[in-house]
Structure 1
Amino acid sequence: MRIAFYGSSLVSSYWNGAATYYRGLLRALSNHGHDITFYEPDAFDRQAHRDIEPPDWCRVVVYEATAAGLNKAVAQAAHADVVIKTSGVGFADDALLQGLMATARPNAVTGFCDVDAPATLGDLAANPAHPLRQALPALDMVLTYGGGDPVVEAYRAFGARKCVPIYNALDPDSHHPVPVQDRFRADLAFLGNRLPDREERVDRFFLDPARRVPDAVFRLGGSGWSDKSVPTNVRVMGHVPTADHNAFNVSAKAVLNVCRASMADNGFSPATRVFEVAGAGACLVTDAWVGIDLFLRPDQEVLVVRDGQDVVEVVQSLTPARATAIGRRALARVLAEHTYDRRAAIVDRLLRRDAEQKAVRGRVA
């Protein structure tokens, strides 16, 4: 099927944490024979910070972040069998959704892919006139980055026909063990952009522990941290291209994952970093959230911390041998159960089933 996918960016992870999710899922989906085009706006200087060039498994159309550019991109939806818009495209999201709903053919499968479902659901609850809330009954499906039953139930209560979590996963061709690089060595590393609903938790789980263990090296990667006041033992790296993620992960004794507040509160929302770190065979430390045991076993395949004191204890007590063992077990688990090939198979079945049902209804009509 011809899939038109409208998202923030496929070719750049700059201020775009969902990039590796889109790449992993769509690459695996292309293996099911789908012809995919990714439409992304030229916004937030992302095109100047590309991590990859357009791949051979997906066409990429970059449109101007103007009304004319948006209209031109939306018009292409009329030629697609499947039209999917993501959350957080970053330019005229509401107009994009409304335009796609009006342009998609009646027999096209339409969907919304939510990469921050708890936050989106909060917006829908606060605004009964929200364009997405109005569109939900007409969309064939909602696919979410995570969230489990709480998110599924909430979306259905807002009128979604069906909501299916398509969790983050591992693309073993992109994220895998590599040699250690001295420039990324650390006792604890964290990689994530500076965002309002993440910063307080980074302070609590990363920077405060760094102050309490001054003889340890902490490494902070991601955009937006350059003017942040940090302890002297924290090395601020700035944006880390995806090509360097494997080395960043394996070179630290342990790598911290800190969920955004909304995802931590909801649970069942493993971040992309969880699978990137595990896929590199590195030792993952994550803040506590409900559902972690569905993906990795605490104390065996991942270390779970409740607060900054737990992080301090991990940094002080974790031996290289134990860190290595945890990383190896995590790698084995995600390779066996949590790859994008598995996730894409679910999406492929959903799309083909809905397309067939629409075709049958069309023949009957």
Structure 2
Amino acid sequence: MGMLQSIKMALRSIRSNKLRAVLTMLGIIIGVSSVIVLVSIAQGSAKNVTSQINQLGTNLLTVNTYSTDIELTEDKISKLSEIDGVKAVAPVVSGRVYVKKERTSSQITLTGTNGAYSDVRDAKVSQGRFITDLDVEYRQKIVVLGSDTATTFFGASNPIGQYIQVSGTSFKVVGVLASKGSSLGQSGDNVVIVPLSTGQRLVGSTTISTVYLQGKSEDQMDFVMNEVKMSLASMYPGKSDYYGVTNQQDVMDTMSSVSDTMTMMLGGIASISLLVGGIGIMNIMLVSVSERTKEIGIRKAIGAKRRDVLLQFLIEAVVLSSMGGVIGILFGLGLGKVVSSLMSLSISYSPTVILSSFLFSLVVGVVFGVFPANKASKLNPIQALRYQ
């Protein structure tokens, strides 16, 4: 008997017991759709976190001090900028200030920095201009607003050239940042940026505890990081616990490792449903063998070989699992979109995951269909014909 004829017989047998076939496939459908939805959510979350980290800037190193015993002075920052492989340096002071315009007031995050900050932190300007080094040198009372801050105080009107009160002092708005959204739980749009010298006066401190360094090339970042550490060690001998250097790529690698582990765990949990579905297929196929014992006896009596019977029941199991796999894929894709809309989650479908889940469902059909098929093929034709 040919393969095509075996498939036709398998489909005929499934059609004759539609409800039982649907219930048998249900475990496979749930398993495949669960794998697709859970893994897609995990991968979407991972991509979202990676995107947020990338928004912090490209080829980024961050130097932080944790004690007042050491201070990042202008001379020391200048030495860091001279390290081979460093493209730009942006020192930062920050704090919370009250911003007011007419009757609208709010407490906003203030960042005092220099002109390089725009490139180092990938802070694009949608209107006007960014701070320049001349603004820092002459302590200009100018401000660049985050997109949310601009909307809060100026609505739909153009804020460029208008004035706003920052901690009771009038500042001229020279630019508005393009929206960056939230990054690692913090909004990058609800900020005001002023020249470094002006920011130091507003926060009441000249201490710089954070410096961002941009590398010239991603390939050189490990080298640059080591050079920065060596430079800081010479500046502050014996005080390595008082400062830290963070490589953005290290953060991304750590997050990637965590997300990969979560993806594997969620995929493993969902795959258990597929195994349960496989047990359901084996159970139904065993029932089918018992019900069709006489049919098997007749086929063997008229010349069917053991291989033909084995193939017929094995194909039935594979057809059930493959149909369940296809329906599970469609259901998983649809359910993923619904979950994404209702829960505002990022979903990232992977063709590899979809194909793997389908192939796994086929393997389940083969593995759990072998035992019933083998049992059917070993039936003695005379005893099968006498079976009541």
- TM-score, normalized by the shorter chain, greater than 0.5: no
| TM bucket, shorter chain | under 0.3
Q: TM-score, normalised by structure 1?
A: 0.21
Using CA pairs below 8 Å that are at least 6 residues apart, which structure has the higher relative contact order?
2
Q: TM-score, normalised by structure 2?
A: 0.20
* Structure (1/2) with the larger helix percentage: 2
